[in-house]
Structure formats: structure tokens, C-alpha cells
């Protein structure tokens, strides 16, 4: 299994369109105006040297890298470039491609020399798009994904059962795919701070902390275990979401309701195109200056827009009155195709 990850993808696409930006710090986010409320989507390697990173408010990025070029997000351009990349991967001999997003995919292949095959993938992507990528090689998807980080930029790295603990064992759990800051903090409270400690952790202890499904799964992550086949089944969205950062805080309840109705209509347009009913709602609220709350609600399966909107407004009653709101987001979860066939209850997806 190989994991292909495009290097600084969004910034690289922008530099291809504007060659004069090569070698300069480039920051992509929002409408490209660092005086507005928006966050960094991608920063070029040159911008990262100044400490600019994804998710950082643009105004802070501008302070860190005052000479950076700020550009607006152009999703259609990135989608088009991504499709070219994936087509180049699928054209390789024996490749089974599982797309993970705009800028990354797993590739499954039978080969005696995975490093040579990885180099051919890099060459094929560059010839087709002029974009560079890094490739991780592994005997599980987790190991391949983590290996890519050791190959960046433009390199190839391998992690397997033979060297996993040697390479990853001393590293903090935060460096594992699927372990964020909150989970690593909870692990630390259990005395688990390194990958090796997580790999050797008592499954019962992990299950007690994270539940009978997630606990053992984190233990598998620590050992680099998990799925060992690439699945090229077309991806089907479980839900659709929209969010808006407001340049001035919303404070009046009428403003908030109007904003929610607008977001809901956009989300429901996306849902209608799928032709599947809604079974859950998520409301994301970011209060000023920067405190985020997320509220969720299961609802009876429905395709009625008015019913969904009513349930969303019910959920909005949990918004704290009197607090300025800088961002609102709405997500609608849908039934999945297999739910209708097998009678499964849909699981709740993330934002």
C-alpha cells in the first residue's frame, strides 16, 4: 500500500497559475484579505518558515509573515487539479486508487519494488500536472499514511511491522494519524505519552477511557495495525455542511435566525441533489472572541425542508443569549445507501 500526498497542494496550484510567486511565502484563505475574519487554508513552505499554519486566523498570519502574498480560496481550481492527479494515479499499471481528499489517496498495487513504483507515481503525477507529491509505503494503511510524513517533501519513505516501533515508538502519540490534541491529552492522563506506550497499553484500560470500540482502535493505531487493503469503492457523502464567518459579530436574535435559515437553505440544496433524507443535524457556533461550541440532534428521517429547518431552530435554542457570534455552521447527516438495504442506523459523522 502506498499513500500519495501532494506537497502544499493548494499553494502549489496557485503558484502554477502565477509562476512569479515561486519561492515567495503564499497564504491561501478566505477571500484573500488578511484584514477580514478568515483562517488559513494552506500556507506554502516559505510561509510555514514564518510560523504560518492551516487554521490560523489570517490577521495573525499577516503579522507573522508581513511580506506574504494572500490569495482567496478557489475550490473549483483545486477540484480540477485533484481530478487530474487522481486520473494520473489510476492510469498506472495495476493501481487500485482510494481517494481521501483533494490532495491525497491510497494506491494498492502488487510489485516487487514498491520504492521504484512510488517514484513512477511521482513522475506520472508531475508529468500530468506539474505538481510534486510525497509517497509513504506500508503494509497497512496506517503505516503508509504515517510514512508519508517522513518523505516530505517530494520523497519516499517506508514503515512496516519490521521498523514501526523502532521509528515511531519514542514519538508522542500526537504524531499518529487519528490522534489529535484532545485524545493525546486523555492518553497522557493514563500515563501514555509515546507510541510505544500506546502499543503496549492494556486494552481494558483503553476501553474504559474511550469505549469498547474506540479504545481498542487506539491500541491498534499505536501498533500501526488496521486495514491492509485499498478500497476503490466510490466515496459517498454522509452529510453536507456550510459555515460562514461574519465580519461583524451577530448579536441580535433575529440576525442569528436569518443567518441560520440562509445556511440551512444552502445545505438543503446540497442534500436535495443527493436524493437521501436527513437523519441528523449539527450546529456549530463560534462565539467572540474564539470559543467554539458544537450541538447535535438526531431527527426522524425526513426529506421535508420545513421539518429540517424547524428542528435546526429547535437546536439553536442552545445558543447562549447575549453573546456575540462570529461564525455559524450547519451540517445535515443523511441516510447512507447501505442503510436502506440493510436496515442499519446511520452513525453520526464529524464536522
Please say whether the beta carbons of 141 and 106 come within 8 A.
yes
Q: Which residue has the cell 436569518?
A: 258
**Cα separation, 46 vs 44, whole angstroms:** 5
Cis peptide before 153 (omega within 30 of 0): yes
The answer to whether residue 104 is catalytic is: yes
**Cα separation, 315 vs 138, whole angstroms:** 44
Which one of the listed residues 104, 220, 225, 333 is annotated catalytic?
A: 104
Alpha helices in the chain (DSSP H): 9-17, 45-48, 58-64, 75-90, 114-129, 141-151, 164-168, 181-189, 195-199, 203-210, 214-223, 253-274, 305-315, 337-342
For 274, the 3-state DSSP assignment is: helix
Neighbours of 162 (CB within 10 A): 9
HSE-CB at 140 with a 13 A cutoff on CA atoms is 17
For 52, the 3-state DSSP assignment is: coil
Residues 6+ positions from 195 with CB-CB distance below 8 Å? 165, 168, 169, 170, 171, 172, 173, 175, 176, 222
Q: What residues act catalytically?
A: 104
Amino acid at each position: 500500500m502506498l499513500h500519495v500526498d501532494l506537497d502544499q497542494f493548494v499553494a502549489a496550484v496557485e503558484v502554477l497559475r502565477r509562476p512569479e510567486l515561486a519561492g515567495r511565502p503564499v497564504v491561501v484563505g478566505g477571500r484573500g484579505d488578511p484584514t477580514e475574519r478568515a483562517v488559513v487554508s494552506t500556507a506554502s513552505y516559505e510561509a510555514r518558515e514564518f510560523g504560518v499554519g492551516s487554521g490560523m486566523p489570517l490577521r495573525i498570519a499577516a503579522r507573522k509573515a508581513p511580506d506574504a502574498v494572500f490569495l482567496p480560496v478557489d475550490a473549483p481550481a483545486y477540484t480540477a487539479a485533484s481530478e487530474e492527479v487522481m486520473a494520473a494515479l489510476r492510469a498506472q499499471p495495476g493501481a487500485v486508487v482510494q481517494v481521501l481528499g483533494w490532495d491525497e489517496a491510497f494506491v494498492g498495487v502488487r510489485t516487487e519494488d514498491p520504492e521504484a513504483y512510488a517514484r513512477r507515481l511521482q513522475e506520472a503525477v508531475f508529468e500530468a500536472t506539474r505538481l510534486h507529491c510525497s509517497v509513504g509505503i506500508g503494509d497497512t494503511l496506517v503505516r503508509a499514511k504515517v510514512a508519508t510524513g517522513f518523505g516530505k517533501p517530494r520523497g519516499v519513505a517506508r514503515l512496516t511491522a519490521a521498523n514501526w516501533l523502532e521509528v515511531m515508538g519514542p514519538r508522542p502519540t500526537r504524531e499518529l494519524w487519528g490522534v489529535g490534541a484532545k485524545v493525546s491529552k486523555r492518553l497522557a492522563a493514563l500515563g501514555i505519552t509515546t507510541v510505544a506506550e500506546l502499543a503496549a497499553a492494556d486494552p481494558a484500560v483503553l476501553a474504559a477511557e474511550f469505549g469498547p470500540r474506540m479504545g481498542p482502535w487506539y491500541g491498534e493505531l499505536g501498533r500501526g495495525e488496521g486495514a491492509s487493503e485499498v478500497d476503490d469503492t466510490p466515496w459517498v457523502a454522509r452529510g453536507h455542511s456550510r459555515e460562514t464567518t461574519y465580519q461583524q459579530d451577530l448579536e441580535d436574535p433575529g440576525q442569528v435566525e436569518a443567518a441560520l435559515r440562509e445556511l440551512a437553505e444552502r445545505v438543503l440544496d446540497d442534500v436535495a441533489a443527493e436524493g437521501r433524507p436527513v437523519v441528523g443535524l449539527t450546529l456549530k457556533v463560534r462565539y467572540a472572541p474564539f470559543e467554539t461550541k458544537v450541538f447535535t440532534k438526531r431527527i426522524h428521517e425526513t426529506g421535508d425542508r420545513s421539518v429540517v429547518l424547524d428542528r435546526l431552530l429547535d437546536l439553536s435554542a442552545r445558543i447562549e443569549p447575549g453573546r456575540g457570534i462570529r461564525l455559524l455552521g450547519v451540517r445535515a447527516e443523511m441516510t447512507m445507501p447501505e442503510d436502506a438495504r440493510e436496515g442499519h442506523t446511520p452513525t453520526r459523522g464529524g464536522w
